[in-house]
Amino acid sequence: MLKFVLLPFVFIIGCVGTASIFVMGAAIQHQLNWAPTSATVLRAESLCKLTYQPGDRLLRETAAIEPCGQIGEAVLPTGASKPRIFTEERGAIAYQIDGAEHYWEGKLSDAGVYNVKAGDALTLLYDPREPNRLDAAEIKGWRGGLLIISICILIVSLYTWFFWFRGEPPPPKSPRLHQEPRRPLPRPFGAAPTGRVFRA
């Protein structure tokens, strides 16, 4: 029954590994198919996002994104519950594509940008089909991603082999079934054969 107890944990580990593979695959796809561009950070600031749980919906919604000193003044809609505040690095980026100026604004981590300030020059990747989609020019944290994927694959593989494909060990065989047959005692000298076999 141990395999059924461990099954939910192994399922969660498998989901984590699958998500990591998806993220790494998307980053590699961007490196291969997206084009580089020079960008400049126009604005970078730390803001607070207030989210809440609507009374008639399953997913949480955003009530306000404001400076952290003012987020407490935001008013929640009627029926809202479980308010939560998250800190986000948001800003604006300017970049050029074929001589044309483009602007991007939003959560900086969505563009693969971290720990920057206004005026910093960056090299980013953009999607030729959707130029407003940006990503970092280098895959960050790829060593940690590969480590997570390797550990998840190892755990799932060991669990699957040990509990589902290894099979039950064969039962021990009785030693009496493997005893060598005893040889008949030698017939005394001069005695006539009787056809009976004596065993010790």
- Distance CA(186)–CA(200), nearest Å, equals 11
pLDDT category of residue 180 using cuts at 50, 70 and 90 = low
Question: What pLDDT does residue 162 have?
Answer: 87
Q: Is 65 helix (H, G, I), strand (E, B) or coil?
A: strand
Rounded Cα–Cα distance for residues 17 and 38 (Å): 33
**8 belongs to a structural domain:** yes
Task: Name the band, by pLDDT with cuts 50, 70 and 90, for residue 123.
Answer: very high
Q: How confident is the model at residue 4 (pLDDT cuts 50, 70, 90)?
A: confident
Helices (H), the chain: 2-33, 142-160
Domain-located, residue 24? yes
Residue 141 has a pLDDT of 76
Please check whether residue 168 lies inside any domain of the structure.
no
The number of distinct structural domains making up the chain is 1
Query: Is 118 part of any domain?
Result: no
Does a structural domain hold residue 74? Answer: no
Q: Average pLDDT over the chain, rounded to whole? A: 84
What gap in Å lies between CA 104 and CA 90, rounded to an integer? 11
pLDDT of residue 177: 53
Measured CA to CA, the distance from residue 79 to residue 127 in angstroms comes to 40
Question: Does 192 score more than 60 pLDDT?
Answer: no
Report the helix count and the strand count for the chain, using DSSP H and E. Answer: 2, 6
Q: Which residue has the higher pLDDT, 148 or 184?
A: 148
Position 77 in a domain: no
pLDDT band for position 14 (cuts 50, 70, 90): very high
**Half-sphere exposure in the Cβ direction for 11 (13 Å, CA):** 6
Q: Is there a domain that residue 75 lies in? A: no
For residue 19, what are the domain limits? Answer: 1-34+139-161
CA dist 2 and 12 (Å) reads 16
| Contact present, 40 and 123 (Cβ < 8 Å) | no
Could you tell me if residue 28 is inside a domain? yes
C-beta atoms surrounding 95 within 10 Å: 20
Predicted confidence at residue 19, as pLDDT, reads 92
pLDDT: which is higher, 117 or 196 = 117
Measured distance CA(14)–CA(20) in Å, rounded: 10
Q: Is 141 left (phi over 0), alpha (psi -120 to 50) or beta?
A: left
